[in-house]
Amino acid sequence: MTRRRGLALVAAGLVGFATAMMPTSLPAQTATPESQPLVLPPVIVSAPLPQPVPLPRSSIPGAIDTLTGKEVRETYPHVLPDALESRTGVTLQNEQGTPYQPDLNLRGFVASPVTGLPQGISIFRDGVRLNEPTAEEVNFDLIPLDDVELVEVIRGPSVLFGRNTLGAAINIVTRRGEERFELTPELAWGSFGRQEYTLRLSGPVKPFDYYIGVRYSDETGWRQDSDARIGRAFSKIGIRTGGLDATVSYQYSNDRIKQPGSLPASQVNTDPTANFTAGDFFQPTLNMGVINASYAVNEQITLEANGFVRALNSEQFNVNLAGPNSRLLNHSLSTGGRLQASHKGTFFGFDNVLIVGGEYTNNYVTSRTFEEDAEQELVADLKDRQQIWGAYIQNSLTLLRNFAGPRSSLVLTTAGRWDSVNHDITDLLGGPSGGDFTFSRFDPRVGINVNLSDRIGFYASYGEGFRAPAFLELTCAGPGAVCAGLQVGVAQDPPLQPVVAKTYEIGTYLRPFPWLDINASLYRTNVSNEIFAVSPTGTVGVFFQNIGSTRRQGAEFSLRARWERYLEGYLNYAFTQATFQQTVELSTSLPPGTETVPAGSTIPLMPQHRVNFGLAWHPWLWATMSAGTTWVSSQFLRGDDANTQAPLPAYWVTNVGLSARWRGFEAFANIYNALNNRYETYGTFAPDPRLEGSPVVRFLTPAPPINVLAGLRYTF
């Protein structure tokens, strides 16, 4: 049985089950969001575990964003970064050339599916870290976007989210059964052979609730040999009784994604649809189970627990015109859990919220690399057992109330976290890559919120973040351990040091009118022992090294408004300056092979300016027209750390959309890159073996031209 037929049978079974469960008469249609009273929702931030005592914005000393599941689905994204692109400071690059594997850049840090990029953003789903144990990379195609209830973007280091949270944490909460039965089939078709089929089913069977979602996506892609197939099933069962609230969820994903990658600049100009190394692909299979439970001991104390099993098998195949092709087979089995207690009460007469918790994760990772020419040769065979411990405490103490008028308050937040990461690496081929490495650190955080009213607030904070070297980085450390393509390495000498980020931030949040939200922040993050991926001259390989001190600093501004039921809009601006803070000598793919990078040089692929704005018009209760534009400034190519080469040009892109609703029906159409601009979001330097002497040239990834997605959904 093919996977497509299997998913179709599952979907058919759900329809049959839904028919049996369907009530004999449908409830009256609720009013659309546009017809509801005009109130912008408050922003609430939780810890990785679903919080029984969520902290309001007035108690969070940091910049935060939230997206509801409805907002995510309305963008009809390929992956999570597409849905976040309209948020302040979020920039996307695309090294792999496929819409399912973009890099997400925020505050000068990256979350990426590309194995080998130093990661600085942590991603969580229902309390489980999604950064892979191989290299902390993130496979965005495996995140079940159709099944999302809430997405939170918490900028800066976070004690609650822990290691790898240097620039931000993204927390995803999935849906559970609603108070009434709901069945929603959805079909969509678009340019480049894009097809999407989705079915969602949820409802209550008191005291239980259930949710099931199935998705199948397929597209041929706009470039040669760039097709992709995404298959996913997600289910969750919950129970609410007495003080107990618990859920059990399971996800299965099986994808196959072709990766057209970048092209020589000369070919981008003549034939951007070409594929320079046709045949590259990524194929993951995921099984993931999660249990979350909370129990309210009384009105003040709540206990929470989380447990998970996550198994991922992946295959990465790379075509190499300058040498043998490579095939990387990774397997990871992750198990672990978290215990947490929350107390909401008073401390010497002051309102106080205390959160304490601990977690443990065990990762077992195997990685095998084959070089394939006339025959297949095993060139690397490693395994790594990772044991990770963490303990944290956070306290939010309201020192003053009504000191500047009604609803004013002064809130002090103090927090600390200890993390320990152990790698036990074994080289099964008897080489020098094995070793035992332990990294541990305590990270503090302190902040204060000054709320003059529920409409005017200011905050200031200081926090530290920590990232231990990843499995791949430890086995590709230093010029003597260059890793060709994406394969694991051959040595761990010299040892890498953990990365430490120290962030200072001030900001304000204002609501001068009921229909207007304004947020602004200034931040500076000093990073020591930054781990950098370096490509020596004349190769497509990389190795990792600590490069000393770097800095990210900038300003962020966002405005969101809504006028009655007719019009809503947003305007965001972000300035991001990411620089080397000391002069360093780095290997480079550009001749002569090394370069002196002066202090103050801009880190590549970090645009300084980003603006985006958009409007949504609701001429009638049943219709919405929207448009959004993004402008991104120029950025230096990867490998040009000294900033001596011409950068990628600035670009802008506009998307428009239209949707109409009638009873349970909804039809939509989105046009992406509506003005058909030609631009590139990624660039690097590499040898071109098709030219005599294999000179090093600019390689760029072209963005897709104008394309359309249209579809229908019906909610029973």
Joined tokens for residue 561: 């408004």
Q: What is the pLDDT of residues 172-211, one digit of tens each?
A: 999 999 889 999 999 999 999 999 999 999 999 999 999 9
- For residue 362, the number of C-alpha atoms closer than 13 Å in the C-beta half-sphere is 4
Cα 195 from Cα 710, distance rounded (Å): 10
Joined tokens for residue 673: 């890159």
Cα 700 from Cα 679, distance rounded (Å): 10
Under a CB-based contact definition with an 8 Å cutoff, are residues 290 and 318 in contact?
no
Cα 437 from Cα 513, distance rounded (Å): 54
Q: Euclidean distance between the first and final Cα of the chain, in Å? A: 30
Going 672 to 677 to 681 to 684, the CA torsion angle's sign is positive
Residue 466 phi, psi (nearest 5)? -140, 135
pLDDT score at 537 = 52
Under a CB-based contact definition with an 8 Å cutoff, are residues 670 and 656 in contact?
yes
Joined tokens for residue 320: 């190499």
Under a CB-based contact definition with an 8 Å cutoff, are residues 325 and 373 in contact?
yes
List alpha helices for 499-607, DSSP H: none
SS3 267: helix
Cis peptide before 592 (omega within 30 of 0): yes
Under a CB-based contact definition with an 8 Å cutoff, are residues 696 and 262 in contact?
no
Please list, in sequence order, all residues whose beta carbon lies within 8 angstroms of the beta carbon of residue 443, skipping any fewer than 6 positions away.
Answer: 157, 159, 416, 417, 418, 419, 463, 464, 465, 466
List alpha helices for 470-542, DSSP H: 471-475
Closest-CA residue to 240 (of 201, 294, 290, 289): 294
Tell me the three-class secondary structure of 29-54, residue by residue.
CCCCHHHCCCCCCCCEECCCCCCCCC
30 exposure class (CB count in 10 Å sphere: 0-12, 13-18, 19+)? exposed
Under a CB-based contact definition with an 8 Å cutoff, are residues 425 and 471 in contact?
yes
168: DSSP letter:
E
Under a CB-based contact definition with an 8 Å cutoff, are residues 274 and 267 in contact?
yes
Cα 705 from Cα 214, distance rounded (Å): 29
Please list, in sequence order, all residues whose beta carbon lies within 8 angstroms of the beta carbon of residue 169, skipping any fewer than 6 positions away.
Answer: 121, 122, 123, 124, 153, 154, 158, 161
Closest-CA residue to 517 (of 83, 104, 41): 41
pLDDT score at 314 = 96
Cis peptide before 207 (omega within 30 of 0): yes
pLDDT score at 268 = 95
Going 31 to 33 to 34 to 36, the CA torsion angle's sign is positive
pLDDT score at 490 = 39
Cα 679 from Cα 608, distance rounded (Å): 17
Q: What one-letter code names the amino acid at 624?
A: T
pTM value surpassing 0.85: yes
704: DSSP letter:
P
Q: What is the pLDDT of residues 429-439, one digit of tens each?
A: 887 778 899 99
Joined tokens for residue 228: 């992709």
Cα 73 from Cα 177, distance rounded (Å): 17
The secondary element (H helix, E strand) that includes residue 72 is helix 69-74
3-state percent helix, strand, coil for the chain, nearest multiple of 5: 10, 55, 35
Cα 321 from Cα 184, distance rounded (Å): 47
Residue for token digits 């890159």? Answer: 673
Distances 55 to 51, 59, 507, 620 between C-alpha atoms, Å: 9, 6, 17, 36
pLDDT score at 483 = 62
592: DSSP letter:
T
Going 63 to 68 to 73 to 78, the CA torsion angle's sign is positive
Q: How many CB atoms lie within 10 A of CB 582?
A: 12
SS3 322: coil
pLDDT score at 147 = 96
Cis peptide before 514 (omega within 30 of 0): no
Cα 104 from Cα 68, distance rounded (Å): 19
pLDDT score at 54 = 63
Low-confidence ranges of the chain (pLDDT < 70): 1-54, 374, 477-494, 535-542
DSSP 635-687: BPPTT-TT--SPPBPPEEEEEEEEEEEETTEEEEEEEESTT----EEEEEEEE
Q: Which domains occur in the chain, in start order?
A: 3-714 (2.40.170.20)
